[in-house]
C-alpha cells in the first residue's frame, strides 16, 4: 500500500490550480472546516485538502478569513470622491 504524500503550505502561497480544487472541494467555503493548529507565525488555523494522491494541510492566515459581509461593508464605505481620479 502506497502512502499518500503529505504537504504543508500556506493558503496565500497556493497556485490558482490548487485554489480551484479548494473551491471545488469546498463549494460553500472552507471556513466551517478549519481546525486550530499550534500558532506558527500568523497562521493558527488550517484545513485539509485531499486530492487522492496528495493530502495538503493548508494553513490559513486571519486576513483570508474575513467574511463577505465585512468586505461588502468596506465597499459600501468607499466613495469615488475618496480617490484622485483622472479621466
Q: How far is CA 40 from the centre of its chain?
A: 16
The stretch 4-11 carries a mean pLDDT of: 93
CA–CA gap between residue 9 and residue 11 (Å, rounded): 7
Structure confidence by residue, pLDDT tens digits, 55-76? 999 998 877 776 555 656 666 6
Burial label, 60 (beta-carbon count in 10 A; 0-12, 13-18, 19+): buried
Is pTM, for the whole model, over 0.75?
no
CA–CA gap between residue 60 and residue 29 (Å, rounded): 13
Q: What are the extents of the domains in the chain?
A: 5-79
pLDDT > 90? residue 47: yes
The stretch 17-36 carries a mean pLDDT of: 90
pLDDT > 60? residue 53: yes
Which residue's entry shows cell 461593508? 73
Amino acid at each position: 500500500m502506497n502512502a499518500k504524500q503529505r504537504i504543508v503550505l500556506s493558503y496565500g502561497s497556493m497556485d490558482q490550480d490548487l485554489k480551484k480544487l479548494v473551491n471545488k472541494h469546498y463549494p460553500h467555503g472552507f471556513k466551517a472546516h478549519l481546525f486550530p493548529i499550534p500558532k506558527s507565525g500568523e497562521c493558527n488555523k488550517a484545513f485539509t485538502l485531499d486530492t487522492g494522491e496528495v493530502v495538503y494541510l493548508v494553513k490559513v492566515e486571519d486576513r483570508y478569513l474575513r467574511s463577505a459581509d465585512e468586505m461588502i461593508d468596506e465597499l459600501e464605505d468607499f466613495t469615488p470622491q475618496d480617490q484622485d481620479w483622472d479621466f
